[in-house]
Amino acid sequence: MSVVKRPSQKAKWYIPGILTGLKITMKHMLFNLTHRKEMMTINYPEEKYQYSDRFKGNHILTVKKDGSLRCTACMLCATYCPAECISIIAAEHDDPAVEKFPISYEIDILRCVFCGFCEEACPVDAIRMGPEHQTAAIAGERFIYDITQLAYRPENKGGVLSKVDDEERHRRGL
Amino acid sequence: MSYLTSRFETLVMGLEKKLHVPWVLSEGCCSIEIQNAQLATYDWQRLGMDDCAVEPSEAQVLIIAGWINSTRADEIKEIYSKLQKPALVMAVGACSLSGSPYKLGQTKNIICAQDIVPVDIFIPGCPPRPEALLSAVLELQRKLSPGPSSREVLSAALK
Amino acid sequence: MPKVTINGKSIDVEAGTSVIKAAQLLDIPIAHYCWHEGLSVAGACRMCLIEVEKNPKLQIACNLPVTEGMIVHTDNEKVRDAVKWSLDFHLINHPLDCPICDQAGECKLQDYYMNYGLYNPEMAERKQKKNKAVSLGDRVVLDQERCILCSRCVRFTNEVTKTYELGIFNRGDRSVLSTFENRPLNNNYSLNTVDICPVGALTSKDFRFKQRVWFLKDFDSVCNGCSTGCNVKISYNNNGVFRVRPRVNKEINGFWMCDEGRDVYKFVNREYRLDQVVERRDDFAGASVKGKPVALALQEIGHKIKDSQKLAVVVTAQYTVEEYEAFFELFSGKLKSTKFYVWVNNEETFESFDGLLLRGDKNPNTNGLIKTMKKFGIKAGLWKDFEAAVVKNEFQLAVVAAPENQNVYPELNSRLATFEKLEDVVWLSSCVNDRFKNFRWQIPMKSYVEKSGTFINFKGVEQKIKASVKIIPDAIDLIQLSAGLSESIGVAR
C-alpha cells in the first residue's frame, strides 16, 4: 500500500502541539514528585494492594485443634467443582468418631478457576480460599497442590483453625 | 524508600538494556488483567517488561492468554518460531494452561499451551491478578540472571 | 378378583394382594422402609400410610389386603402430613452424618425428606449415642446410630438364608441392631443386607469409602461367577468398575446374589489386566517383547498355525456363544482341526449347589459351549486326554482360550506346567500372571463387561450381555481373533 502524503498548511503547526503534550507530561511529573503519597503506581514487591477479606486466592485446608485435617472426605467440593480440579482419596480412620478422612487431597491449580464453589459446598468449613493471590511458577515446579501445600504451607503458620468443631457438636447432642 | 529502590532498578535496567519486549497474544478476561499490569497502576515497565512489540521478530517474550483451538495453535507456533532467541513463553490463566473453563462447556478441541510450545512461566488463575503477572515478571528476571537483583542489593545497602 | 382404585386409577388384582403391591403395579410410589417384596411383612416403619375411603384412620399399605371396591388415596394432604410425622420420628436419633455416609445419594431417608419432609426439626432433646463402625463380619460394617430399625436385614437372615445371625436388642430408643455373641454375619449372602438396608446403617467393607455413589454409573449385565447367571447391575466410572449389585429377575435369582459373585468385578479392572500383546522371543535370551500391534501378532500366529501340523485347541467355558461360533467355525469348519479339549475347573465340586443360588460350576456359559460344540459336531477331549497327548508329544502348537476369571480356577498354576511343555502356546487371556511369560504369545482379551454376547445358564436360559465399558483399548474378543486369523491364514471368510 502506498499513500501519498501531501504537505498541508495545518502540519506546520506541530510545535505548539508538542509543547501542549509536554506540558501535560511535566504537570503530572511535577505532581507525582511533590505528592508521592497520592501517586497511582503501586511499587509491587515492596508495596501491596490491600484486597478485601473475601478475596479468592489459593486454597487453604483448615485443621482441627489437634492439628489434623478438618476435611472428612465427603467429596462435595469435588462434586461441585466446575473445573473438576479436586481429587480426593478417602480412607477409614482408626477413631470411629472420625471414621473417614482423606489420605490424599489434591488440587490441580492449573485447572482451578478460583470460583469459590468448593468453599461454599463444604459442610464443615474445611476448605477456604486464602488471601494469597495466585502464585506464578516456573516450569518444572509442582502444580498439583497436595495436603502439605494446602494445609501446612509456611503462610498458614501451622494450620488455620476450622470454625466447625465435632466435639462441640457432640456435646450439644447434635 | 520503596520508591527509591524501584526507580533505581528501572534506571539500572534501562542502562543495562535488560528490558524484555513482549508479544502479547491474549483473548478474553486475561487480556484485561494484562492491560492492567501494563498501565499506570501496576506498570510492569518498572520490573523490566517493555511496551508491546509491533512485530513478533522484535519480541523476546511470548505471552499467551485465552483459549487455544487448533487454528490458534498454528498461529502460536508460527509466532514462536519468529521470536528472538532465546525465546521465553509465559502462559496466563486456566484457559491456556489446561483449557478447563472451555473443556467443561462441551468444547472438545481445546489445546493446552504447554503441549505446543515450551512454557517457561505458568501463571494460574482465572484470570490471574496483576500481582501474579508482576511476580511472574520477577520470576522471569530471576531465571535469566540468577543471584541478587540490583533492587535487593540496594535495599540491603539502605538498611 | 377384587377391584381397587388408587388415586383414581383402577386395577383388578388377585385376592390377598396388599395395597402397596397393587400400587406398584400401577406405578404409584408409596413411601416405605421395612416392606420388601422378597421378605415377609413387618409393618414396623409406618411410612406407607394411605387413606382408605369410609375408614376413619389411615392404614399401612403393606399389611392391608385389597378388598372389592376399595378406594385409596396416597397423595392427599392428610397422608402427606402423616408421612411427614413418621419421617420426623425416624430422624429423631439419626445422626445426619450424610457427608461421610456411603449411602448418601441413594438413601431413602434423603429421598423421602425431599419428597415429604422439608421441615425444621422440632426435637429439643439430645440424640441417643450408639456405637459407630461396628464390624459385623468379614464383609459388613454396622453404624447403629444410622439404623432406623426397619428389621429388613433381620428378616433376610431369618427367612432367606435361615442363618439367624442378626437381631434387634434392647427396648425403646435404646434398641440396637446387632449380632449374637460369637456368631458373626459371615454367610455367603451377607452383602444382600447392605443392598436392602434403606439407610446407611449397613455398609460393605469392600466398597466402603471407595467412591461416592453419584460418581458411578450403572449398567445391566449377567454375573460371570457361576452357571446360575444372576442378573446384576455393575457400577463404574472412569477409574474402573467398583461394585456389583443384584437386579431383580424372579425366574433366575429373585432379588439376591451371593457374596462370591460380588467380587467378580475385580479382575476386570485395569491393574489386573493384560493390556498389550506379549511375545516370548528366543533370540533375546527368552526375554519378552511387549506392545506389538494385535493385527501384526495375529498375522504371525496365522502363519504359525498354517505351517503347524500338530495343533491343539483348548477352550474354557468363560466366553459367549457368539464367540464360540466364530472360533469353532475357523478351527473346526475351515481348518478341519480335530483336536479340541475342554478345560473343566473344580471337577470334584462341579455339580454341587448350595441350595439358594451358588453352583459349583464356576463358568457362566458351560451350556453354551456344549450347545455350540454339538452344532459343529465336535467331540472334545477332557483335561486328562490333553495331558496324555502332551506327554506323548503329539502337539507343537496350542491355542488356549484361557479363563478371564482366574480365581475360579484353583488348579490353574499346577496345570500351566503342562502347557509349558509345548513349544508354542497362543494364550488368549484377559488377566496377567507371572507364569504366562513362558508362553509364546499372550493376546489381551476383552472381559465380560466389554463385549456383547449370550450366556446360557444351567437351566438353558439365554441371557444377553452388552458391551458397556472400555477398559483396555487394545483388547479383542474371539470373534475379532477368528476374523484376523482367517485373514492371515488365507481361508475364505
Q: Which of C92, C100, C141, C143 to mutate against chain A (most A CBs within 10 Å)?
A: C100
Q: Which residue has the cell 477398559?
A: C471
Q: CA of C143 to nearest chain A CA: how many angstroms apart?
A: 10
pLDDT of residue B17: 57
pLDDT of residue C162: 92
pLDDT at B15: 60
**Considering only CB atoms, which residues of chain A are within 8 Å of chain C?**
72-76, 79, 90-92, 96-97, 99-100, 123-124, 170, 172-174
> Dihedral through CA A7, CA A13, CA A19, CA A20, nearest 10?
-110
Q: To which residue does cell 484457559 refer? A: B95
Q: State the count of interchain CB pairs (< 8 A) between A and C.
A: 40
Q: Report strand pairing: C70-73 vs C49-52.
A: antiparallel
Gap from A92 CA to chain B (nearest CA, Å)? 32
Q: Which of C212, C237, C238 is best to mutate for the A interface (most A CBs within 10 A)? A: C212
Chain A residues in contact with B1 by the CB 8 A cut-off are 46
C127–A174: do the CB atoms touch at under 8 Å?
A: yes
Question: Taking the CB of residue C452, how many other CB atoms lie within 10 A of it?
Answer: 15
Give dist(CA C484, CA A88) in Å, integer. 43
For residue C52, the model assigns a pLDDT of: 94
Query: How close does chain A come to C213, measured CA to CA in Å?
Result: 11
pLDDT tens digits in sequence order for chain C, 493 residues long: 899 999 999 999 999 999 999 999 999 999 999 999 999 999 899 999 999 999 999 999 999 999 999 999 999 999 999 999 999 999 888 888 888 899 999 999 999 999 998 888 877 788 888 898 899 999 999 999 999 999 999 999 999 999 999 999 999 889 999 999 889 999 999 999 999 999 999 999 999 999 999 999 999 999 988 899 999 999 999 889 999 999 999 999 999 999 999 988 988 998 889 989 988 887 766 678 888 899 999 998 998 888 887 888 999 999 999 999 999 999 888 888 888 999 888 888 888 898 889 988 889 999 999 999 999 888 888 888 888 888 888 888 899 998 888 888 888 888 888 888 888 889 998 888 888 888 888 999 999 999 999 999 999 999 999 998 889 988 999 999 999 998 888 875 4
Burial of C80 (0-12, 13-18, 19+ CB in 10 A): middle
C131 and chain A in contact, CB less than 8 A: yes
* Contact assignment for A173 to C127 by CB distance below 8 Å: yes
Per-residue confidence in pLDDT tens, chain B, 159 aa: 666 666 666 677 666 656 788 888 888 888 999 998 888 888 888 787 888 888 888 898 899 998 888 888 999 999 999 998 888 899 998 888 888 777 766 666 788 888 899 998 899 988 898 988 988 888 888 887 777 777 777 777 777
Determine whether the interchain pair B132/A134 forms a contact, defined as Cβ–Cβ distance below 8 Å.
yes
pLDDT band of A173, cuts 50, 70, 90: low
Q: Give the H or E element holding residue C202.
A: strand C202-204
Q: In this structure, are residues B89 and B116 in contact, taking their beta carbons and an 8 Å threshold?
A: no
Chains interfacing with B (3 or more CB pairs < 8 Å): A
- Tally DSSP H helices, then E strands, for chain A: 5, 6
Least Cα separation, residue A124 to chain B (angstroms): 25
Contacts of C132 in chain A (CB under 8 A): 96-97, 99
Whether C124 has its CB under 8 Å from any CB of chain A: the answer is no
C-alpha cell at A2: 502506498
Q: Which residues in chain A touch residue B151, judged by CB atoms under 8 angstroms apart? A: 45
Q: Which element (helix H / strand E) includes B93?
A: helix B93-98
Residue C92 contacts A, CB cutoff 8 Å: no
User: Minimal CA–CA distance to C212: which of B13, B23, A73, B101?
Assistant: A73
For the beta sheet containing C441-444, the strands, ordered from the edge strand earlier in sequence to the opposite edge, are: C288-292, C277-280, C441-444, C424-429, C397-401, C311-315, C340-342
**What does the alpha-carbon distance between residue C369 and residue C315 come to, in Å, rounded to a whole number?**
9
Alpha carbon of residue C460 to chain centroid: 19
Q: What sign for the dihedral angle of Cα C342, C480, C321, C269?
A: positive
Name every residue whose Cβ is closer than 8 Å to that of residue C172 and which is 6 or more positions away in sequence.
none
Separation CA C197–CA C188 (nearest Å):
17
Regarding predicted confidence, which is higher, A2 or C493?
Answer: A2
- Quick one: cell of C317? 467355558
Q: Which parts of C381-468 are beta strand (E)?
A: 397-401, 424-429, 441-444, 453-456, 462-465
Q: Which residues of A touch C129 (CB under 8 A)?
A: 170
pLDDT at C394: 85
∠ CA C401-C403-C406, rounded to 5°? 150
CB of A14 within 8 Å of a chain B CB? The answer is no
